[in-house]
Amino acid sequence: MSTHLEQAEQLIRVRLRELDDEHKRLSRALSALAGSDGRRAPTRSSGSTGHRASSSSKPGRRRSSGRGRAVSAKQSAAVADYLRAHPEASTAEVVAALDLSDGRVVGAQRRKLTAS
């Protein structure tokens, strides 16, 4: 009977050492995250994307919503004309026919649907 108790005691001691090692490792990681003075380490601001917009001259600045993102009127008109001529055309067919990106075609299709 005592051998079972000794084995259980030994297993518990081993596990406690493992937990102690893990506690130390996690404490070091927490300290590294918090910085030496106990405050959190600096992080990126909530608006930061980690990359710059291609047309922006200042780092961290986002483009305004009205500049450089809207599908041109010519492209929208071309998509609308194509869809009038080919009402059952899939997005992939429109993309191939007009040599536009699928995002631009889908956007134009959405605008056409909301305008109708």
Alpha helices in 35-90 (DSSP H): 73-85
Name the residue with higher pLDDT: 91 or 64.
91
Taking only the tens place, the pLDDT of each residue in 5-32 is: 999 999 999 999 999 999 999 999 988 8
Q: In sequence order, which residues have a C-beta less than 8 Å from that of residue 86 and are 6 or more positions away?
A: 93, 94
Instruction: Return d(Cα 7, Cα 1) in angstroms, integer.
Output: 10
Chain segment 21-80, per-residue pLDDT in tens: 999 999 999 888 887 655 655 666 666 555 555 555 556 656 555 555 555 788 888 888
Domain residue spans of the chain: 1-39, 73-115
